[in-house]
Amino acid sequence: MSERFYLYDDTVATQTRFISFMGENQRHDLALITSDRYYGKTLVLDILRNKFAIIGRDDLEEPGYLEYAYSIDEETAEELRSFLEELI
């Protein structure tokens, strides 16, 4: 077996915030992970849908980004967007 080639192997300090809230149509269980790794963006894990995205303010303003990243409809994405705008 050949030697494994690592592109990187870093350990960084992170801050993780777990948030659960009930929207108009469904529940959202999120983990927001911040570090200096993603240029000021936040790694947002949607625990119920088993999806994640690296999100910054610019991504929240991008039409269709949340719908694509989390495989959700427009109404659910708008609910999530308005919530994340308060935190990111």
Instruction: For 25-72, write each residue's pLDDT tens digit.
Output: 889 999 999 999 899 999 999 999 999 999 999 999 999 999 999 999
The predicted pLDDT at position 2 comes to: 82
Query: What does the pLDDT look like over 72-88, one tens digit per residue?
Result: 999 999 999 999 999 99
Question: Alpha-carbon distance 52 to 59, whole Å?
Answer: 13
Question: Alpha-carbon distance 45 to 51, whole Å?
Answer: 6
Q: What is the dihedral of CA 71, 14, 41, 48, to 10 degrees?
A: 10
10 three-class SS:
coil
Beta bridge partners of 16: 33
User: Taking the domains of the chain in order of start, what are their residue ranges?
Assistant: 15-87
Helix (H) or strand (E) holding 42: strand 42-46
